[in-house]
Structure 1
Amino acid sequence: MEKLIENEDYYFEDGLMVLTEAYLKKRGYCCGNGCRHCPYEGEPDERPSKPKS
Protein backbone atom coordinates (compact mmCIF):
# COMPACT_ATOMS: atom_id res chain seq x y z
CA MET A 1 0.00 0.00 0.00
CA GLU A 2 1.22 3.45 -0.90
CA LYS A 3 1.98 5.97 1.83
CA LEU A 4 -0.64 8.72 2.13
CA ILE A 5 0.46 12.33 1.64
CA GLU A 6 -1.05 14.98 3.90
CA ASN A 7 -2.92 17.76 2.05
CA GLU A 8 -2.87 15.69 -1.14
CA ASP A 9 -4.60 12.48 -0.05
CA TYR A 10 -6.11 13.70 3.22
CA TYR A 11 -6.34 16.56 5.69
CA PHE A 12 -7.48 16.90 9.31
CA GLU A 13 -10.62 18.77 10.35
CA ASP A 14 -11.78 18.92 13.96
CA GLY A 15 -9.44 16.03 14.79
CA LEU A 16 -10.81 13.78 12.03
CA MET A 17 -8.99 12.66 8.90
CA VAL A 18 -10.87 13.62 5.72
CA LEU A 19 -9.94 11.85 2.46
CA THR A 20 -9.62 14.07 -0.61
CA GLU A 21 -11.28 13.54 -3.97
CA ALA A 22 -7.83 12.90 -5.48
CA TYR A 23 -7.22 10.01 -3.08
CA LEU A 24 -10.69 8.55 -3.55
CA LYS A 25 -10.22 8.58 -7.34
CA LYS A 26 -6.84 6.83 -6.97
CA ARG A 27 -8.46 4.21 -4.72
CA GLY A 28 -10.83 3.43 -7.57
CA TYR A 29 -14.06 2.50 -5.83
CA CYS A 30 -16.84 3.82 -3.62
CA CYS A 31 -16.90 2.50 -0.05
CA GLY A 32 -20.56 3.50 0.40
CA ASN A 33 -19.91 5.57 3.54
CA GLY A 34 -20.95 8.92 2.05
CA CYS A 35 -17.48 10.48 2.01
CA ARG A 36 -17.55 14.28 1.77
CA HIS A 37 -15.38 14.37 -1.37
CA CYS A 38 -16.64 11.18 -3.05
CA PRO A 39 -16.12 11.50 -6.83
CA TYR A 40 -18.58 8.70 -7.59
CA GLU A 41 -22.11 9.86 -8.35
CA GLY A 42 -25.34 7.98 -8.86
CA GLU A 43 -27.18 5.42 -6.83
CA PRO A 44 -25.04 3.21 -4.59
CA ASP A 45 -25.67 0.15 -6.80
CA GLU A 46 -24.29 2.04 -9.82
CA ARG A 47 -21.00 3.12 -8.18
CA PRO A 48 -17.79 1.14 -8.53
CA SER A 49 -17.45 -1.05 -5.44
CA LYS A 50 -14.50 -2.59 -3.63
CA PRO A 51 -13.10 -5.54 -5.56
CA LYS A 52 -13.80 -8.86 -3.86
CA SER A 53 -10.63 -10.70 -2.86
Structure 2
Amino acid sequence: MLREGEDYYLEGGLWVFTESYHLKRGYCCGSGCRHCPYPKAVQTEAIRLRQAGTPIRSRAEFEARFGALLRTG
Protein backbone atom coordinates (compact mmCIF):
# COMPACT_ATOMS: atom_id res chain seq x y z
CA MET A 1 0.00 0.00 0.00
CA LEU A 2 1.35 3.42 -0.95
CA ARG A 3 1.74 6.00 1.78
CA GLU A 4 1.42 9.70 1.06
CA GLY A 5 4.49 11.59 2.21
CA GLU A 6 6.67 8.48 2.16
CA ASP A 7 6.05 6.98 -1.28
CA TYR A 8 4.55 9.97 -3.06
CA TYR A 9 3.21 13.46 -2.67
CA LEU A 10 0.61 15.38 -4.65
CA GLU A 11 1.60 18.36 -6.74
CA GLY A 12 -0.90 20.14 -8.94
CA GLY A 13 -3.22 17.14 -8.79
CA LEU A 14 -0.48 14.75 -9.93
CA TRP A 15 1.23 12.00 -7.97
CA VAL A 16 4.98 12.52 -7.66
CA PHE A 17 6.80 9.40 -6.54
CA THR A 18 9.67 9.78 -4.08
CA GLU A 19 13.19 8.36 -4.31
CA SER A 20 12.22 5.98 -1.50
CA TYR A 21 9.35 4.60 -3.59
CA HIS A 22 11.57 4.09 -6.63
CA LEU A 23 14.16 2.22 -4.58
CA LYS A 24 11.46 -0.01 -3.04
CA ARG A 25 10.06 -0.76 -6.50
CA GLY A 26 13.56 -1.70 -7.60
CA TYR A 27 13.71 -0.56 -11.21
CA CYS A 28 13.52 2.44 -13.51
CA CYS A 29 10.30 2.45 -15.54
CA GLY A 30 11.56 4.94 -18.12
CA SER A 31 8.92 7.59 -17.46
CA GLY A 32 11.45 10.32 -16.65
CA CYS A 33 10.40 10.52 -13.01
CA ARG A 34 11.54 13.58 -11.06
CA HIS A 35 13.06 11.60 -8.19
CA CYS A 36 14.48 8.62 -10.11
CA PRO A 37 17.56 7.46 -8.16
CA TYR A 38 19.14 5.53 -11.02
CA PRO A 39 22.15 6.77 -13.05
CA LYS A 40 21.39 8.98 -16.07
CA ALA A 41 22.71 6.33 -18.47
CA VAL A 42 20.20 3.83 -17.06
CA GLN A 43 17.37 6.37 -17.19
CA THR A 44 18.18 7.28 -20.80
CA GLU A 45 18.13 3.63 -21.91
CA ALA A 46 14.96 2.88 -19.93
CA ILE A 47 13.25 5.87 -21.59
CA ARG A 48 14.41 4.65 -25.02
CA LEU A 49 13.02 1.17 -24.31
CA ARG A 50 9.69 2.61 -23.16
CA GLN A 51 9.40 4.78 -26.27
CA ALA A 52 10.18 1.73 -28.43
CA GLY A 53 7.24 -0.10 -26.83
CA THR A 54 9.38 -2.50 -24.79
CA PRO A 55 9.47 -0.99 -21.29
CA ILE A 56 11.13 -2.70 -18.35
CA ARG A 57 8.38 -4.29 -16.28
CA SER A 58 10.13 -5.99 -13.40
CA ARG A 59 13.03 -5.84 -11.00
CA ALA A 60 14.42 -9.09 -12.47
CA GLU A 61 14.39 -7.67 -16.00
CA PHE A 62 16.01 -4.45 -14.76
CA GLU A 63 18.77 -6.38 -12.94
CA ALA A 64 19.42 -8.57 -15.97
CA ARG A 65 19.79 -5.56 -18.25
CA PHE A 66 21.52 -3.03 -15.97
CA GLY A 67 22.95 -4.99 -13.03
CA ALA A 68 26.59 -4.73 -14.12
CA LEU A 69 26.27 -0.99 -14.73
CA LEU A 70 24.63 -0.43 -11.36
CA ARG A 71 27.32 -2.39 -9.52
CA THR A 72 30.15 -0.36 -11.09
CA GLY A 73 28.51 2.93 -10.20
**TM-score grouping bracket, smaller chain normalisation:** 0.7 to 0.9
**1:50 and 2:48 matched:** no
Question: SS state of the match for residue 40, structure 2?
Answer: coil
Q: Please tell me whether Structure 1 or Structure 2 has the larger radius of gyration of its CA atoms.
A: 2
Number of matched pairs = 48
Q: With the length of structure 1 as denominator, give the TM-score of the two structures.
A: 0.78
| Residue 40 (structure 1) aligns with | 38
Structure 2: tracts of 5 or more residues without a match = 47-55, 62-73
Instruction: Give deviations 1:13-38, integer Å, cap 9, x for gaps.
Output: 00100000000000000001110000
Q: With the length of structure 2 as denominator, give the TM-score of the two structures.
A: 0.58
Percent sequence identity over matched residues?
A: 56
Structure 1: tracts of 5 or more residues without a match = none
Mapped partners of 1:4, 1:36: distance in 2: 18
Name whichever structure is richer in strand by fraction.
Answer: 1
Of residues 10, 13, 17, the one that matches 2:11 is 13
RMSD of aligned Cα (Å): 1.8
